[in-house]
Structure 1
Amino acid sequence: MTDNKLIEVNGLKSPKGAFLLGHLPQFNTYNKHQVLERWVEECGELFKIHFVGKQFVVSANPDFNSQMLRLRPEVFKRFSKIDEILKEMGVDGVFNAEGTVWKRHRRPTAEALSVKNIKTYYPIILDKTKGILEKFKNYSQLNTIVNVQKEFMAFTIDITTEIAFGHKLDTINNKSNSFQKHLEVIFPMINSRVTAPIPIWRYFKRKKDKILDESLKSIEKVIYEFINDAKKRIAENPKLKEQPSNFLEVLLVENKDENFTDEEIYGNVFTILLAGEDTTSNSLSWAMFYLAQHPEIVAKVRREAREVYSKDTPDTYENVEDLKYANAVAQEAMRLKPTTPQLYLESNEDVIIDNVSIPKGTSIILQNKVAQTHDDYFSNPNSFVPERWIASECPMQKNHTPNVMRAFGGGPRYCPGMHLAKTEMTVLISTLCKYFDFKLEVKPETIREQFEFTMYPENLKVTFIPAK
Structure 2
Amino acid sequence: MYRQICVFKNSGQLCQVQQLRSITQSVEKISSENSTRNQEWEQAKPFKLIPGPTSYQLIRGFMPGGMFYKLPIHEFINKSREMYGDLFILPGFLGRPNWVMAFNADDFLPVLRSEGNWPYRRGLETMTYHRKYHRKNPYGDVIGLVGSNGEDWGKLRSTVNPILMQPKNARLYLNNMLEVNDEFLQRIREIRDPKTLEVPETFEDEINRLTFESVATIALNRQLGLIRKNRNNEEAKLLFESLRSLFELSMVLDFGPPIWKYYKTKQFYQQMKNFDNLSDICTKYVDEAIDRIENDKTPRKDNEEKSVLEKLLKIDRNVAKVMAQDLIAGGVDTTSSTIAGILICIAKNPEKQEKLRQEIRTILPQKDSLLTIDNMKNLPYLRAIIKEGMRMYPIGGGTVRANKEDIVMSGYQVPKSQEIILNHNALLNTEQYCPKAKEFIPERWLRSEESQYAPTHPFLFMPFSHGPRSCVGKRIVEMELEITVARLVRNFYLEFNYSTENAFKNRLINVPAIPLKFKFSEVEQ
Structure 2 SS opposite 1:77: coil
Structure 2: distance between partners of 1:390 and 1:205: 51
- The answer for unaligned runs of 5 or more in structure 1 is 256-260
Q: 1:69 to 1:267 in 2, by over 3 A?
A: farther
Task: Give 1:101 shift.
Answer: 1.5
2:272 corresponds in structure 1 to 213
Once the two structures are superposed, what CA deviation does each residue of 1:74-129 show, in whole Å capped at 9, x if it has no partner?
A: 685112xx342221233821223222212221134322222111111111221111
| The one of 460, 468, 474 aligned to 1:418 | 474
Show the 5 A alignment for 1:272-287.
272-287=327-342
SS in 1 for 2:436: coil
Contact 2:424 2:459 in 1 (8 A): no
Conserved 8 A contact 1:171-1:180: no
Q: SS of 1:455's equivalent?
A: strand
Equivalence for 1:258: none
Residue 118 of structure 1 pairs with residue 156 of structure 2: no
When the two structures are superposed, what TM-score results if normalisation uses the length of structure 1?
0.86
Q: 1:456 is matched with which residue?
A: 511
> What is the CA distance between 1:246 and its match in structure 2?
3.5
Q: Which has the higher strand share?
A: 1
The reply on whether 1:65 has 2:108 as its aligned counterpart is yes
Q: Report SS of the residue matched to 1:7.
A: coil
Q: Counterpart in 1 of 2:310?
A: 249
Secondary structure at the counterpart of residue 325 of structure 1: helix
Shift of 1:297: 1.5
1:87 aligns with 2:128: yes
SS, match of residue 78 in structure 1: coil
Q: Cα–Cα, structure 1 residues 416 and 398, in superposed 2: closer, same or farther, change >3 Å?
A: closer
For 1:414, the aligned partner's letter is S
Instruction: Give per-residue Cα distances to partners, 1:369-399, cap 9 Å, x unaligned.
Output: 2321233432212211111112146352676
Would you say 1:167 and 2:222 are equivalent positions? Answer: yes
Q: How many residues align?
A: 456
Distance 2:98 2:474 in 1: 32
1:270 paired to 2:308: no
Partner SS state of residue 321, structure 1: coil
The amino acid that maps onto 1:130 is: D
- 1:14 aligned partner: 52
1:234-383 equivalences under 5 Å are 235-236=294-295, 245-255=306-316, 262=318, 264-310=319-365, 311-312=367-368, 314-347=370-403, 351-354=406-409, 356-383=412-439
Q: Distance in 2 between matches of 1:322 and 1:180?
A: 35
Describe the shift of the 1:213–1:99 C-alpha distance in structure 2 as closer, same or farther (beyond 3 A): closer
If you compute each CA radius of gyration, which structure gives the higher value, 1 or 2? 2
Is 1:128 the counterpart of 2:180 in the alignment? yes
Q: Which runs of 5+ in 2 are unaligned?
A: 1-36, 132-141
Alpha-carbon distance between aligned partners in 1 of 2:379 and 2:203, rounded to the nearest angstrom: 22
Q: CA deviation at 1:344?
A: 2.9
Q: CA deviation at 1:209?
A: 4.4
Secondary structure, counterpart of 2:381 in structure 1: helix
Higher relative CO (CA 8 A, sep ≥ 6), structure 1 or 2? 1
Equivalent pairs: percent with the same residue? 20
- Displacement of 1:35 in angstroms is 2.4
Which residue is 2:445 aligned to? 389
Structure 2 counterpart of 1:218, which letter? N
Q: Which amino acid aligns with 2:171?
A: K
The answer to whether residue 150 in structure 2 is matched with residue 99 in structure 1 is: yes
Counterpart-to-counterpart distance in 1, 2:70 and 2:377: 39
Between the aligned partners of 2:466 and 2:310, the Cα distance in structure 1 is 28
Residues 313 and 427 of structure 1 are in contact (CA less than 8 Å); yes or no, is this contact kept in structure 2?
A: no
Helix, strand or coil for the counterpart of 1:444?
coil
* 1:419-456 residue CA offsets vs partner (Å, 9 max, x unmatched): 221221122112112222233253222x4431112112
Conservation of the 8 A alpha-carbon contact between 2:118 and 2:154: no
Cα distance 1:432–1:28, how it changes in 2: closer, same or farther (>3 A)? farther
Q: Give me the whole-angstrom Cα distance separating, in 2, the residues matched to 1:402 and 1:187.
A: 30
Question: Alpha-carbon deviations, 1:180-236, whole Å to 9, x = none?
Answer: 233222222222212221433863442x54544333323222222334344445544
Provide the secondary structure at the position in 2 that maps to 1:437.
strand
2:197 is the alignment partner of 1:145: no
**Counterpart for residue 282 of structure 2:** 223
Q: 2:513 corresponds to which letter in structure 1?
A: E
Distance 1:403 1:361 in 2: 21
CA distance in 1, matches of 2:386, 2:69: 29
What is the RMSD computed on CA atoms of the aligned residues? 3.1
In the aligned structure 2, how far is the partner of 1:365 from the partner of 1:327?
27
Classify 1:63/1:112 alpha carbon distance in 2 versus 1 (closer, same or farther; 3 Å): farther
Q: What aligned pairs does 1:23-62 form with structure 2 within 5 A after superposition?
A: 31-52=72-93, 55-62=98-105
Whole-Å separation in 1 of the counterparts to 2:462 and 2:69: 23
